[in-house]
Structure 1
């Protein structure tokens, strides 16, 4: 494997994360803090406008819908564009949207329809940013497996600590002061992130076939995922999770208020419990668990843990027990993400990285909107506990289906093929 450009060197000595990664990590942390404030405030804003569980679930659907509508095209475009530039422009796009939302809120024009449009457009910006970031990181780190796992762990840890631990309580508190204040904080964070990302070294733009359509490129990336059993398994595993967690998250704010007796600030701390577990999973558990069990077995174990934790959460009346189960679930989810991202970035060719990342996210997130709608419907028809029991059943049942696709043997064979090439 040869070096394509200065600043992106293959590591043959003891791996060490480059200074550029520190700037990328800082940008991600700043942005995640604002995201956490926004993530807590958005459902609270929706609940202030409507108490219908189905209506509240539509906000969640609108957030992930861009991945279904433009996901494959976004991946193809990322593989044609400067990935660093794509990231900072996506940040500025989201900042501008949030400024408009603040203005609309001040004018009394931010109702449920406008909130749904805002959630969708912010999801578009998140899609381009995340796909570009996943494609950029392997080039920055020379596709070194140890560096990728460490970097993904730190990025996930930063996202968890800032976006889920610190951000939600801040967002909940700011929402109690004024409904649109969390949006202001998020807009500022996106601007700061964009400025940091502009200082990163540019990555090489992959070669492409002249005259080929964007849609043809998109189809190539999707076919690459579905024809590779390991990549498909790595995408299906979170797809099953997103079906379950879509149902869980769609009515979480109502469950927290009506069943656990939590108010706005308490709801933020419930989200923070998930973040504590996520931080441990990303920073502490993922590496040692992979070494102990192997990647495939570790992924199967985390699926079982997620299902069991959600099942106990559904039975909970005590907010402390609910918080503990949310923390355990967050730990398993973060471990899954770090291990899955790192393996994918190791085995996928650079020219396809954006498309494969987008196609994987499409498969992974395609079940999310269905889960959110299902959660809203189950809560309306059978009570607020029903989505949690259904989610646990899906997670535990589907673990058997996906474990053979991402087994230790499959992972070892894919890594060996990458080294040989």
Structure 2
């Protein structure tokens, strides 16, 4: 240190640390008096918008298949085609969207995505009322909405990192997950009520939820401005792909998830066809069955961490994917047993085991196979003339769920042993190189 600097330091008394008022502390996400963490106005606006939007999403997921089957009288192939559009954006856009959102203004991105979704859903209703709604139009509408959702979901995760301090992010994500799970429970019942009361106009709730979300985010103070990133998009893409494939644990998880999602979307796509046309369930009954299944999934989520700790996350993973696929065969019990009870029970266990699997593979993005959704409609349509719609749906769903039952879990079965071996090697290396004695000199 120079003499001038030392003299300067001696002349400047240390200033006392300024304390923040409670309002400023809450805005920055610091603990409020009493130990409760205030996440601030910025997060609360985002949370409010997303909570409403989650309900709208569930209305959309429930109403679109009902409109196709009950109003447009679409074929099984056409239902599968539109279901494909729901997943099309995920494999095509996820990697690129993540890199683009990093470069864009976050708040503007989220508002734009919400306004795109609002406009498209509104146009679907207008097209129906004017007599112009068709399967191709619905396909492109669903694809655009889900493409915007991919960008939005990546952007809102980055938004939380921008507006909530590190110590508050666990609480922030917990609040978001609570809202999402609550929407899973009440959403189908609300959607079935709205559809019975309003028909396709129930989609107004979905459109309105996007508009509300856009307004809430627009009310937030500016954050996440556009930034320049030196690394090219291609370099980042290659690094991400290399990481997922060269790491044996990530690779096993990725392969297992990939195989499971060959059959999973087929099963989910055919379910409303089976419910409405094969089992002749009413919209209200099907909505209640889905809500009961979501409530069971919520209960499963509450014990998922405990089960994971008891068994081991890597060991639970193949068990969960096997059970998830195997319980789907329970749908074959309908209509021998009461159809609504079978659908509700099967979807309940289907949801619980899916939650457990997701808890174990939270760091790995699920892969979707849109071609499989199209195949779902093809199989049902081909089998219907010879077997009837009920048996055609049952055969297709059984085949789809058997894919996961037999082929999805083996790539993940050895991951726990691999982790145990790595841990043992690390411990052996640590024991072989003891620390130097305290106070020793060279």
Seen in structure 2, the aligned counterparts of structure 1 residues 238 and 83 have a Cα distance that, compared at 3 Å, is farther
Partners of 2:210 and 2:102 in 1: CA distance: 23
Partners of 2:311 and 2:97 in 1: CA distance: 35
> Hey, what does 1:354 align to over in structure 2?
none
Seen in structure 2, the aligned counterparts of structure 1 residues 400 and 156 have a Cα distance that, compared at 3 Å, is farther
The answer to whether structure 1 residue 182 and structure 2 residue 202 are counterparts is yes
Question: After the TM superposition, which of the residue ranges 59-68 and 219-228 deviates more from structure 2?
Answer: 219-228
Q: Which of 331, 334, 342 pairs up with 1:321? A: 342
CA contact (8 A) 2:321 2:405 kept: yes
Q: Which of 235, 249, 264 pairs up with 1:230? A: 249
> Hey, what does 1:308 align to over in structure 2?
326
Q: How many residues of Structure 1 are paired with residues of Structure 2 in the alignment? A: 379
CA contact (8 A) 2:82 2:139 kept: yes
> Hey, what does 1:388 align to over in structure 2?
397
Higher-Rg member (1/2): 2
Q: CA deviation at 1:209?
A: 1.3
Question: After the TM superposition, which of the residue ranges 403-412 and 150-159 deviates more from structure 2?
Answer: 403-412
> In the TM superposition, what whole-angstrom CA distance separates every residue of 1:274-302 from its partner, at most 9, and x where no partner exists?
311222233x1222223322322232332
Partners of 2:272 and 2:62 in 1: CA distance: 9
Partners of 1:17 and 1:230 in 2: CA distance: 37
Partners of 1:53 and 1:411 in 2: CA distance: 49
> Hey, what does 1:297 align to over in structure 2?
315
The answer to whether structure 1 residue 279 and structure 2 residue 288 are counterparts is no
Partners of 1:411 and 1:143 in 2: CA distance: 33
The alignment's TM-score, normalised by the length of structure 2, stands at 0.75
Seen in structure 2, the aligned counterparts of structure 1 residues 291 and 412 have a Cα distance that, compared at 3 Å, is farther
> Hey, what does 2:80 align to over in structure 1?
57
The alignment's TM-score, normalised by the length of structure 1, stands at 0.78
CA contact (8 A) 1:307 1:396 kept: yes
> In the TM superposition, what whole-angstrom CA distance separates every residue of 1:148-178 from its partner, at most 9, and x where no partner exists?
4x7555534422321x332223223333344
Q: CA deviation at 1:218?
A: 3.2
Partners of 1:28 and 1:36 in 2: CA distance: 12
Partners of 1:83 and 1:152 in 2: CA distance: 18
Q: CA deviation at 1:118?
A: 0.7
Partners of 1:229 and 1:134 in 2: CA distance: 27
Q: CA deviation at 1:180?
A: 2.8
> Hey, what does 1:155 align to over in structure 2?
176
Higher-RCO chain (CA-CA 8 Å, sequence separation at least 6):
1
Q: CA deviation at 1:326?
A: 0.6
Question: After the TM superposition, which of the residue ranges 307-316 and 106-115 deviates more from structure 2?
Answer: 307-316
Partners of 2:156 and 2:137 in 1: CA distance: 29
Q: Name the SS of the counterpart of 1:251 in structure 2.
A: helix
The answer to whether structure 1 residue 90 and structure 2 residue 92 are counterparts is no
The answer to whether structure 1 residue 77 and structure 2 residue 100 are counterparts is yes
Correspondence 1:17-416 to 2 at 5 A: 18-19=39-40, 21-47=43-69, 48-137=71-160, 148=170, 152=173, 154-162=175-183, 164-198=184-218, 199=220, 202-203=223-224, 208-209=229-230, 212=232, 214-282=233-301, 284-317=302-335, 318=338, 319-341=340-362, 344=363, 361=365, 364-367=366-369, 369-382=370-383, 383-397=392-406, 398-405=408-415, 409=419
Q: CA deviation at 1:390?
A: 1.7
Partners of 1:286 and 1:71 in 2: CA distance: 27
Structure 1 residue runs without a partner (length 5+): 1-5, 345-359, 417-421
CA contact (8 A) 2:266 2:376 kept: yes
Partners of 1:294 and 1:17 in 2: CA distance: 34
Partners of 1:237 and 1:335 in 2: CA distance: 14
Structure 2 residue runs without a partner (length 5+): 1-26, 384-391, 427-442
Q: CA deviation at 1:59?
A: 0.8
